[in-house]
Amino acid sequence: MNDSSPKTLVNVSDIYIKHLPDLTDVKIAIIGVKEDRIKPNDNGCALAPNDIRKHFYTLVQPKYEVRIADLGNIEPGESISDTLFALNAVLQYLHERNIIALILGGTQELAYAQYTSYQGLKHAINAVVVDAKIDLKQHETDHEQTGFLYKMIAHQPNYLFNIVHMGNQNYFIEQESLDSFEKMNFDLMRLGNIRSKIQETEPLMRNADMLVMSLNSIRAADCPASVDANPNGFFGEEICQLSRYAGMGNDLSTIGFYDLKATNDIDGRSAKLVSQMMWYFIDGVYARKHDYPTTESKDYMIYRTTFQNGDYQIIFYKNTSTDRWWMEIPYPKERSQHKGIFMVPCSYSDYQAALNDEIPDRWMKAYQKLL
84, 143: one domain? yes
199, 342: one domain? no
Average pLDDT over every residue of 348-361 = 95
CATH of the domain at 132: 3.40.800.10
269, 313: one domain? no
Q: Report pLDDT for 1.
A: 39
Residue after which a domain boundary falls, among 218, 253, 285: 285
Residue after which a domain boundary falls, among 253, 285, 317: 285
155, 230: one domain? yes
Q: What are phi and psi of 215, to 5 degrees?
A: -70, -10
Q: What are phi and psi of 75, to 5 degrees?
A: -75, 155
Q: Please state, in angstroms and rounded to a whole number, the distance separating the CA atoms of residues 280 and 262.
A: 21
pTM exceeding 0.85: yes
Q: Which residues contact 366 (CB under 8 A, 6 or more apart)?
A: 162, 329, 342, 344
Q: How many domains does the structure of the chain reveal?
A: 2
255, 365: one domain? no
pLDDT digit string (tens) for 251-307?
A: 999 999 999 999 999 999 999 999 999 999 999 999 999 899 987 778 899 999 998
Query: Would 87 be classed as within a structural domain?
Result: yes
pLDDT digit string (tens) for 70-119?
A: 999 999 999 999 999 999 999 999 999 999 999 999 999 999 999 999 99
Report residue 40 CA to chain centroid gap.
25
222, 340: one domain? no
110, 248: one domain? yes
Residue 210, domain extent: 9-285
190, 70: one domain? yes
Q: Please state, in angstroms and rounded to a whole number, the distance separating the CA atoms of residues 95 and 122.
A: 12
272, 318: one domain? no
pLDDT digit string (tens) for 170-190?
A: 999 999 999 999 999 999 999
220, 247: one domain? yes
245, 355: one domain? no
